[in-house]
Structure 1
Amino acid sequence: MKSDNTAAVPPRPAQPRVRVWDRPVRLMHWALAASVATAWLTRSDLGVLHEVHEIAGYAAAALVAARTAWGWAGSRHARFASFVRAPAATWRYARDVLAGRAQRFVGHNPLGGWMVLALLACTAALGLTGWLYTTDLFWGYGWLADLHNGLGWTLVALVALHVAGVAFTSWQHRENLVAAMFTGRKAPPAEPGEH
């Protein structure tokens, strides 16, 4: 019988986590995802549950309004000023992503910041066009229905890009961003330059 003289390697201590996304950001994120999904699944071209579609659309619009307000008054990583970068800085970051040397951000990275704005703006436009279509002034106009439908497909494309970006960034930096949006916590900055 062989004896094993190698010492057991102690388990690596769990890396401490820092609070990044506060509870309002996380609740609004998942509630907005649920209301948008509900609105999509009950859209009028499916011919079912139109009232549910309207309620989900109004809920999404209210959540966009709340998230916009929280983007000015919320905690550090909730504020637009902390993650919406100038176009030049965003293009530099995009080039770094393509070159495989993108910097890790504790909060949203520059592309993610602009995606947040695009998702909020598109959802707000959907809410506005959906509401306008219910008014006496705009009811029955085909161009408004087409615009609403086109915005819906634009939102689908944005959501797909968002999910792909989250998956890619999670892989690139070896961290679970979906879990972080549930817990609000991420690994702390490894380098002084990380945001």
Structure 2
Amino acid sequence: MNATSASRAEAPVDSAPARRVLVWDAPVRVFHWLMVLSFAGAYLTAESERWRLLHVTLGYTMAGLLAFRVVWGLVGTRHARFASFVRGPAAVWRYLRSLVSGQPEHHVGHNPAGALAIVALLGLTGLVTAAGWATYNDLGGEWLEELHEGAANAMLAVVGLHLAGVLIGSWVHGDNLIGAMLSGRKAGAPEDTVRSAWRSVAALMLAAVLGFWAVQWQSAPAPDAAMSASHHDRDDD
């Protein structure tokens, strides 16, 4: 975003336009909710041998979603691109000070603090999935498994901070940010709107994920066989 957007971002919330425009395209929204579902499912099944295939499948899904988001962050719509919302420490500090002062900066896309959390979540996703893949394929020792678990716990903590930031931002700015990630619309000026929602790309991404899940489901061992293998592994130990 250019100088026009930058100056608007520095304006207090009172001057933010009330009109609702399309900000988040369909691929960003589908990515977001698939990532939420995949991380939650993977985290909840992490300690269960019975649900190990589901845990691994969701981990691979997260890796694929990460790859897509990196590409879309380079070639996607204006508010989806990293160049439009990734800022340095000074911008993050200025935004946090504006919150404390009671005159928060209005950002059509991600605000600098939210962008920091998003970058951290993407980085941790890469670390979690890489360490998990290596652990699953017995490419490292116990330290790698501990790294996988530690990164997952760190990711959960950042998710908590991100969610708190979303709730605070919704209250301070008077804009339902969770609802915006469902509808794609936020308060903005006409020139801030995204021209196309790119629903075709979102549909292809969703189809790819569902197709991958179907393949994994078809290759899953029968419950009795899986339990027998689990008991056999414990007997060998």
Match of residue 101 from structure 2: 99
Letter in 1 for 2:171: W
Inter-partner Cα distance in structure 2 for 1:41 and 1:29: 18
Match of residue 151 from structure 2: 151
RMSD of aligned alpha carbons: 1.7
Shift of 1:97: 2.0
Inter-partner Cα distance in structure 2 for 1:146 and 1:107: 36
Shift of 1:48: 3.3
Inter-partner Cα distance in structure 1 for 2:148 and 2:100: 33
Matches within 5 A, 1:26-175: 26-44=29-47, 46-138=48-140, 141-175=141-175
Identity of aligned residues (%): 46
Structure 1 residue runs without a partner (length 5+) = 1-14, 191-195
Letter in 2 for 1:43: A
Q: Which residue of 5, 17, 22 maps to 2:20?
A: 17
Inter-partner Cα distance in structure 1 for 2:149 and 2:139: 19
Shift of 1:142: 1.2
Shift of 1:90: 1.3
Shift of 1:16: 3.7
| Residue-by-residue CA offset, 1:163-184 (whole Å, 9 max, x unaligned) | 0000000000111011100011
Shift of 1:89: 1.4
Inter-partner Cα distance in structure 2 for 1:48 and 1:155: 24
Inter-partner Cα distance in structure 2 for 1:74 and 1:61: 19
Q: What is the TM-score of this pair, normalised by structure 1?
A: 0.84
SS in 2 for 1:18: strand
More helix by share: 2
Shift of 1:115: 0.9
| Residue-by-residue CA offset, 1:33-73 (whole Å, 9 max, x unaligned) | 111011011102x4430110000001011101101110000
Inter-partner Cα distance in structure 2 for 1:152 and 1:167: 23
Match of residue 193 from structure 1: none
SS in 2 for 1:186: strand
SS in 2 for 1:60: helix
Letter in 2 for 1:67: R
Inter-partner Cα distance in structure 2 for 1:102 and 1:17: 19
Asked whether the equivalents of residues 19 and 189 of structure 2 are also in contact (C-alpha less than 8 Å), the reply is no
Q: What is the TM-score of this pair, normalised by structure 2?
A: 0.70
Asked whether the equivalents of residues 63 and 125 of structure 2 are also in contact (C-alpha less than 8 Å), the reply is yes
Structure 2 residue runs without a partner (length 5+) = 1-17, 191-237
Inter-partner Cα distance in structure 2 for 1:16 and 1:109: 18
